[in-house]
Structure 1
Amino acid sequence: MTRAELLARFNLLPPLSDPFLPAHAQAAAVLLPLQEGERGLELILTRRSRHLRHHPGQVSFPGGRVEETDISLWHTALRESEEEIGLDPSLCQPLGRLRAQYTVSGFALTPFVGLVDASARFTANPAEVEEVFQVPLEYLLDLRRHHLFTLRRRGRLHTVCFIRWQGIWVWGITAAVLHQFALQVAR
């Protein structure tokens, strides 16, 4: 699939323009790295190290909070991806971004979609990542695989998404971003 076909199919926002984020939220960015694989386009995901203080063992995208040296949110997503999974930034082409989402921990998380060269290889940084794995994008974008539940937290109702892949549950902000992406593609 060409870059133009991907852009048209995914209906993404401009990749390199940073969204307006409210001052009260801490800026963060993640990368949804897509790579052509045996099963078509595949999304590279990570499982966080079990010794981490926050969200140990959960499935996530490579990414994290903005640092002073980051020149943009795209740069944050690439820097964190290099740190966490060894992705060479020169092997990732920006396709676009999704709308920022807000986490219960106070982050404004901007997801970027990038096309990773087929030659790229990944190495998990054991300080942050236990495992790097790939899932067919078509599977993750299939809304029939998204299980939505409404929960009450601190007196407010929240919809939580869960997606199961080969015995692994994807949930939290990772599943929320995937759900947003699937809805955007379905339009």
Structure 2
Amino acid sequence: MSFISTGVEYGLHCLLYLAGTSAGVREASVRDLAEMQGVPVDYAAKLFTRLAKAGIVQSTEGIRGGFTLARPAAQITVRAVVVAIDGEKPLFDCREVRSQCALFEQEPPAWATRGTCSIHAVMQVAERAMREELEKHSLADLVARAYSKAPASYGHHVVNWFADRAANRRSDRQA
């Protein structure tokens, strides 16, 4: 099992579209975001509920309703998305195994359990480094990386895909 859930991956991929392209996708429905990524709609809706509670996205009402980023993509860190979706959870849960050595007849001697467990200490350093690294990268950074690989026309294709979906929804409601 991975430390960071698949939901974080799905959420970040969906947020890349709300972070905008050179052509300007800024708002989209959860259904469209889910379908664009091949994510179950109900699952994406749960992710966006968490993202909204964390103040990362906000919902808009009406026929053209959907979600937008609640603040600029440069101000949304990868760590904020991880925490919004997965919550704050430790990387390692020390079980104090060191106190259970078969050589300790009744109670472990004080020297055996003094201070932080050396294994736990290493895991704490690793966790701190991971959190610091996730804090260094913003949604805007991810967008720049993703779109640097794509042909220049890709952004326009994305915008058109979302616009067509929204237009079809409006025409379906008017019929």
Shorter-chain TM-score: which interval?
Answer: under 0.3
Bigger share in helix: 2
- Could you say which structure has the greater relative contact order, defined with CA pairs below 8 angstroms and 6 or more residues apart? 2
TM-score, normalized by length of structure 1? 0.25
State which structure, 1 or 2, has the greater radius of gyration over its C-alpha atoms: 2
TM-score, normalized by length of structure 2? 0.26
